[in-house]
């Protein structure tokens, strides 16, 4: 099975189940909402991919000479033009590209072993996922924990410090935080590996199926590999997660403050339930839903941050791939990668929205 | 805890003082605001000072920066505050000689150095300089050196003690390490009189010997230039589009909103990467790439506000009096829309600076001969093991400037729109 397919299934299956539930059991308004949501996504992705295509086609640099070098023969030039489809009219190229994206046959890359780009992305996308999912967990965990704390300590020192913290992490260039963490934990303290996803030695023992190394090491029972993967994952995930945590802290804080004023919280207090229980199991539980939903909106920011984080930690994900291919002028790969990014963001936001609209009965459309 | 049981005020209810704030002008409102939410006031005050400081730095970098940001002005990778290693002249305490200028003219004076050090060159350069000086003042003769090379620094110093050489030229660090063993010798200062007053570099030097502080100061100029230009460009394009879409409505509005939403939903940095990859590195291109990202930000806000303002009574009144669409849009709607856009401008500048730094960190967007924080960070990361200051200070500068603009923007939003204020 193609690794790229596996990845899409990971998100596709829950979203599909949710969809199935909606159409079998859901209310009329929910059904309409989801249909509109899907109907809105399709043209948006189409527009995004079109923008990518036309932006890259007005490239002033000559793709052919930069691929072949200036001394190439005319025959070689024509071969390349034909292989890239550059001799077709623009509109034909455009529809061909759309077809390529839809069928997921993105052509061959132009450097190295000239492997199909789909295969190369199949190795890179799981790496990016293995970065952004732990990062999202870090961001959400920190956000819920400290956001609630700020809410119950409202207008006191802790609240103001957390507010300052969230403004500061928001202002931090993500690559700088990454470099600083690397400087302290990898160089000075020597606690974490300096870069990469896994030890070189351990890597040879790991059998890859999904390219999500954590999943691979667990299903093959390779605990040494799992330890190495986790060890490598800590700093990049913390970097990306902490930068986003500020947003979640603020959101959680506002929502908890609001739910703490609800009648059921007041009546729970009146019944003498301990404040801790009231806060965490009455208020936080309900305040969490809007906060978690925001994850869907943050996917774009998460991926943009992942490009920078991957560069700092030499993490072989999609972002690193994009930058590598830009510097080697692999035109086909750049275009396809950006298109896959667009598709990926759209699909995740759609999946998240569908899942939450099913899970949260309070959402009205 | 008893204090926890206090019921917070109802968020839906607007306090009296907030209503009072609505009645006064902007200047009064700012002063009155201080009384109500102290921290916001301080946020704005501190961040405004920071913003002004950065603007002054950006306007006159040549005044504040001691060195040319593109010139090699010192040794490579000098730590902050560390004095550059000098080549010093070591002479007998009781001797008559304290500088190369004291050497006898025309005689080949024996000078001891340790091999594989730049000492002999420093000594020759200085001898040559003095010779030139003598010639310039009409004198005759040359300062001539007989360089004696020794395996180690102590051996070179032994030679001076034994009288085989008149003086030794060695690096100050090497001398400090063994100075105690040679009580009869003394450090008579830097060999080269040009280096005599060499200062240390407050933030160190980078891998090619440029002054980190000077590059930081010049970097403020480029960051602010990119931030402002990109934000102004997005503003100039996004605001009219938003006005138009909101005012015209219908299919035009829907089509434009769809396109804008598509750009908005796209991971911004990746779109900018694609654009700069296409356009190639230059300041203008990085501004274009960033400006495209933030057009939807202005568009969305202005469109929403226009839709609201369109329904207001005063617009209806103007229309019923026969005002043209152009007049309604320009004189009635635009002035009511602009304040909400103006306050997000500051936050937008911060975002643009952050994106710009990210792009140049990735090696896209800016030519390499520009003193930029992102480029400095990208180059500095190779030296993470040996030179912590190269990756610390440029990032700190980015953070401070973004922090200043963000805090100022958010503070202003909260002061001018108390209703939007976070509870």
Q: Does A184 touch chain B (CB under 8 A)?
A: no
pLDDT given for residue A142 in this prediction? 92
| Binding-face residues of A in 334-363 toward B, CB within 8 A | 334, 338, 341-342, 345-346, 349
pLDDT along chain A (365 residues), means of 10: 66 77 76 82 88 74 59 71 72 84 76 78 87 91 90 83 87 92 90 83 77 82 85 92 90 87 86 85 80 77 90 91 84 84 83 74 56
User: Is the Cβ pair B269, A174 closer than 8 Å?
Assistant: no
> Are B96 and B166 in contact, with CB atoms under 8 Å apart?
no
Q: Does A176 touch chain B (CB under 8 A)?
A: yes
Weakly modelled stretches of chain B, pLDDT under 50: 1-6, 34-38, 196, 420-423
> Are A33 and B252 in contact, with CB atoms under 8 Å apart?
no
**CA-based nearest distance A21→chain B, Å:** 27
User: Is the Cβ pair B265, A52 closer than 8 Å?
Assistant: no
Pairing outcome for strands B167-171 and B144-150? unpaired
Nearest to B357 among A173, A260, A303 (CB): A173
Residue of B277, B355, B368 to mutate when probing chain A, most A C-beta within 10 A: B277
Structure tokens at A197: 């996803």
User: Is the Cβ pair A176, B363 closer than 8 Å?
Assistant: no
Helix (H, G, I), strand (E, B) or coil at A26: coil
CB < 8 Å to A183, chain B: 384, 388, 391-392
Q: Report how far apart, in Å, the C-alpha atoms of A28 and of each of A294, A345, A353, B159, B363 are.
A: 25, 27, 17, 100, 51
| Binding-face residues of B in 338-367 toward A, CB within 8 A | 350, 354, 357-358, 361-364
* ipTM score: 0.86
Q: Does B2 touch chain A (CB under 8 A)?
A: no
3-class DSSP string for A127-139: HHHHHHHHHHHHH
Inter-chain Cβ pairs, chain A and chain B, closer than 8 A? 161
**CA-based nearest distance B22→chain A, Å:** 24
State the residue for tokens 């390529």: A100
CB < 8 Å to B263, chain A: 48, 51
Nearest one of B229, B240, B227, B225 to B298, comparing CA atoms: B240
Q: Can you tell me the distance from the alpha carbon of B2 to that of A60, in angstroms, rounded to the nearest whole number? A: 69
CB < 8 Å to B38, chain A: none
Q: Does A70 touch chain B (CB under 8 A)?
A: no
DSSP assignment, residue B420? G
**CA-based nearest distance B144→chain A, Å:** 49
DSSP string, B47-65: HHHHHHHHHHHHH-HHHH-
User: Is the Cβ pair A61, B403 closer than 8 Å?
Assistant: no
Pairing outcome for strands B87-92 and B185-190? antiparallel
User: Is the Cβ pair A172, B407 closer than 8 Å?
Assistant: no
CB < 8 Å to A171, chain B: 350, 354, 399-400, 402-403, 406
Nearest one of A292, A281, A14, A256 to A137, comparing CA atoms: A292
CB < 8 Å to B267, chain A: 300-301, 303-304, 307, 341, 345
Nearest to A167 among B8, B273, B406 (CB): B406
| Binding-face residues of A in 120-149 toward B, CB within 8 A | none
Q: Does B388 touch chain A (CB under 8 A)?
A: yes
Q: Can you tell me the distance from the alpha carbon of A203 to that of A6, in angstroms, rounded to the nearest whole number? A: 21
**CA-based nearest distance B73→chain A, Å:** 26
CB < 8 Å to A175, chain B: 358, 361, 377, 395
Closest-CA residue of chain B to A330: B277
Helix (H, G, I), strand (E, B) or coil at B188: strand
User: Is the Cβ pair A47, B259 closer than 8 Å?
Assistant: yes
Q: Can you tell me the distance from the alpha carbon of A153 to that of A161, in angstroms, rounded to the nearest whole number? A: 11
Structure tokens at B151: 């395996």
Structure tokens at A138: 């870090």
User: Is the Cβ pair B392, A180 closer than 8 Å?
Assistant: yes
Q: Can you tell me the distance from the alpha carbon of B221 to that of B229, in angstroms, rounded to the nearest whole number? A: 12
> Are B56 and B183 in contact, with CB atoms under 8 Å apart?
no
User: Is the Cβ pair B267, A258 closer than 8 Å?
Assistant: no
Nearest to A303 among B261, B270, B394 (CB): B270
| Binding-face residues of A in 85-124 toward B, CB within 8 A | none
Q: Does B263 touch chain A (CB under 8 A)?
A: yes
pLDDT given for residue B35 in this prediction? 47
pLDDT given for residue B5 in this prediction? 46
**CA-based nearest distance A24→chain B, Å:** 30
Q: Does A172 touch chain B (CB under 8 A)?
A: yes
Q: Report how far apart, in Å, the C-alpha atoms of B235 and of each of B283, B292, B342 are.
A: 19, 10, 9
Residue of B42, B259, B278 to mutate when probing chain A, most A C-beta within 10 A: B278
pLDDT given for residue B346 in this prediction? 86
User: Is the Cβ pair B423, A346 closer than 8 Å?
Assistant: no
pLDDT given for residue A4 in this prediction? 65
- What percent of chain B shows pLDDT beyond 70? 84
CA–centroid distance for A308 within its chain: 12
Nearest one of B201, B205, B200 to B380, comparing CA atoms: B205
CB < 8 Å to B5, chain A: 269, 275
CB < 8 Å to B259, chain A: 47
Pairing outcome for strands B167-171 and B185-190? unpaired
């Amino acid at each position: 099975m193609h690794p790229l397919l596996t990845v899409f299934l990971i998100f596709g299956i829950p979203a599909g189940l949710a969809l199935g539930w909606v159409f079998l059991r859901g209310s009329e308004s929910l059904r309409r909402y989801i249909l509109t949501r899907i109907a809105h996504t399709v043209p948006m992705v189409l527009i995004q991919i079109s923008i990518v295509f036309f932006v890259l086609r007005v490239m002033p640099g000559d793709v052919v000479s930069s691929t072949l070098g200036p001394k190439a023969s005319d025959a070689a030039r024509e071969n390349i033009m034909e292989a890239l489809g550059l001799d077709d009219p623009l509109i034909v190229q455009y529809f061909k590209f759309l077809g390529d994206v839809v069928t997921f046959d993105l052509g061959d890359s132009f450097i190295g072993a000239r492997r199909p780009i789909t295969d190369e992305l199949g190795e890179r996308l799981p790496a990016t996922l293995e970065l952004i999912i732990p990062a999202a967990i870090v961001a959400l965990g920190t956000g819920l924990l400290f956001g609630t704390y700020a809410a119950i300590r409202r207008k006191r020192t802790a609240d103001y410090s957390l507010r300052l913290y969230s403004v500061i992490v928001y202002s931090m260039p993500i690559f700088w935080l990454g470099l600083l963490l690397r400087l302290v934990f990898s160089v000075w303290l020597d606690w974490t590996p300096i870069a990469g996803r896994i030890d070189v030695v351990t890597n040879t023992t790991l059998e890859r199926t999904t390219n999500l190394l954590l999943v691979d090491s667990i299903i093959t029972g390779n605990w040494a590999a799992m330890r190495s993967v986790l060890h490598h994952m800590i700093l990049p995930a913390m970097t990306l997660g902490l930068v986003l945590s500020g947003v979640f802290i603020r959101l959680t804080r506002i929502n908890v403050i609001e739910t703490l004023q609800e009648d059921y919280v007041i009546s729970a207090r009146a019944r003498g339930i301990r404040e801790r229980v009231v806060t965490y199991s009455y208020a936080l539980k309900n305040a969490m839903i809007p906060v978690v939903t925001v994850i869907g909106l943050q996917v774009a920011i998460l991926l943009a941050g992942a490009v920078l984080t991957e560069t700092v930690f030499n993490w072989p994900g999609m972002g690193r791939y994009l930058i590598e291919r830009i510097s080697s002028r692999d035109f086909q790969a750049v275009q396809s990668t950006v298109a896959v990014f667009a598709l990926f963001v759209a699909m995740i936001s759609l999946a998240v929205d569908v899942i939450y609209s099913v899970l949260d009965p309070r959402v009205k459309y | 805890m008893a204090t926890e049981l206090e019921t917070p005020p109802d968020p839906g209810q607007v306090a009296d003082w907030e209503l009072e704030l609505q009645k006064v002008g902007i200047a009064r409102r700012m002063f009155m605001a201080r009384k109500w939410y102290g921290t916001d006031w301080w946020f704005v005050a501190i961040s405004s000072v920071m913003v002004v400081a950065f603007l002054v730095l950006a306007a006159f970098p040549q005044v504040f920066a001691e060195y040319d940001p593109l010139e090699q002005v010192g040794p490579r990778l000098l730590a902050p505050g560390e004095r550059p290693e000098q080549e010093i002249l070591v002479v007998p305490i009781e001797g008559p000689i304290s500088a190369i200028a004291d050497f006898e003219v025309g005689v080949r004076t024996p000078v001891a150095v340790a091999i594989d050090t730049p000492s002999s060159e420093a000594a020759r350069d200085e001898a040559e300089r003095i010779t030139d000086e003598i010639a310039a003042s009409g004198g005759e003769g040359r300062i001539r050196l007989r360089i004696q090379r020794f395996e180690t620094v102590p051996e070179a110093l032994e030679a001076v003690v034994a009288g085989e050489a008149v003086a030794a030229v060695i690096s100050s660090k090497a001398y400090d390490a063994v100075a105690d063993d040679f009580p009869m010798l003394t450090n008579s200062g830097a060999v080269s009189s040009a280096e005599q007053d060499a200062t240390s570099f407050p933030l160190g030097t980078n891998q090619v010997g440029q002054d980190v502080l000077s590059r930081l100061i010049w970097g403020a100029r480029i960051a602010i230039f990119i931030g402002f230009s990109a934000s102004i460009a997005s503003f100039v394009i996004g605001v009219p589009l938003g006005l138009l879409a909101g005012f015209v409505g219908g299919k035009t509005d829907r089509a434009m909103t769809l396109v804008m939403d598509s750009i908005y939903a796209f991971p911004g940095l990746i779109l900018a990467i694609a654009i700069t990859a296409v356009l190639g590195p230059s300041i203008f291109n990085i501004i274009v790439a960033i400006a495209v990202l933030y057009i939807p930000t202005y568009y969305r806000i202005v469109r929403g506000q226009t839709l609201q303002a369109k329904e207001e009574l005063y617009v209806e009144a103007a229309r019923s009096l026969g005002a043209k669409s152009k007049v309604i849009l320009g004189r009635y709607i635009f002035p009511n829309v602009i304040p909400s856009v103006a306050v997000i401008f500051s936050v937008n500048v911060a975002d643009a600076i952050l994106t710009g730094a990210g792009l140049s960190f990735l090696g896209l967007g800016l030519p390499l001969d520009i003193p930029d924080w992102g480029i400095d960070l990208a180059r500095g990361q190779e030296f993470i093991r040996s030179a912590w200051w190269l990756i610390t200070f440029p990032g700190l500068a980015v953070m401070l400037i973004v922090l200043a603009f963000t805090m100022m923007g958010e503070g202003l939003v909260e002061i001018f729109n108390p209703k939007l204020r976070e509870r």
